[in-house]
Amino acid sequence: MVVVLMGPPGAGKGTQAVRLAERLGLAHVASGDLFREAIAAGTSLGRQAKGYMDRGELVPDDIVVRMILERIGRPDCAAGVVLDGFPRTEAQAEALDRALVAQGKQVNAALELDVPEAVVLERLTRRRICRNCQAPYHMEYSPPAQEGVCDRCGGDLYQREDDGEATVRHRLQVYAEQTAPLLSCYRQRSILRRVSGTGEMDEVAERLVRALGRGAA
């Protein structure tokens, strides 16, 4: 099963994709995480992506597509995958479809996390991320037990370069212009489900599972 999780930056895709993948027994593949890992490891992929990311722009399609197709071709994705942050353009969606068809697969569901812009701005500008395991925190709603230290692994918490207010606004504009049009493609195929992304994390997780036609486990 291939599930695409969509929604603007700050909709909670990262948090919810991890949970959804666990719940469904699927792999979780997040394009942004893969880029951040490449940057931390100092690879050429990381060097190519960094400038675009810091400016809140999309990394060129050919780079993203190559990286994601290689990742979803690995054995842990054989049973299926929750894609988080990919595809983000029509060209990426087409490349994904072609690669899946070649394996006798398809995108089975696209879930759109719907969150008002004011909420997204507040979430992102106060977000901190673990440099080591990428766990997200919010300075007010889900702060770590010890300031600046990850509860999960003890890693350093930092503010992403692209979580400053001006860059967040730019990322929202990029989403509206380049990614939102994909929603209508998935709607036309009758595989799009829109889910409210506000409220408690557990509630949102439950809504996503229900939107896939699966009940409480």
Q: Which of 13, 19, 71, 128 is catalytic?
A: 13
Separation of alpha carbons 96 and 29, rounded Å:
13
Minimum CB separation of residue 83 from ligand AMP in Å reads 9
Active site (annotated) includes residue 13: yes
CB 81 within 8 Å of CB 72: yes
Active site (annotated) includes residue 127: yes
**Residue in the block written with tokens 């918490």:** 157
Active site (annotated) includes residue 105: no
Minimum CB separation of residue 183 from ligand AMP in Å reads 15
Helical ranges in the chain per DSSP H: 13-24, 31-41, 44-55, 61-72, 90-102, 117-125, 165-174, 180-188, 201-211
Segment holding 158, helix H or strand E:
strand 157-158
Residues that bind ligand AMP (CB under 6 A): 9, 31-32, 35, 52-53, 56-59, 64, 85-88, 92, 162, 171
CB 199 within 8 Å of CB 115: no
The residue sitting closest to ligand AMP, measured at its beta carbon, is 32
Minimum CB separation of residue 27 from ligand AMP in Å reads 16
Q: What is the DSSP letter of 199?
A: S
Q: Which of 36, 71, 88, 123 is catalytic?
A: 88
Report the residue number, 183 or 214, with the smaller CB distance to ligand AMP.
Answer: 183
Report the residue number, 15 or 92, with the smaller CB distance to ligand AMP.
Answer: 92
Residues noted as catalytic: 13, 88, 127, 160, 171
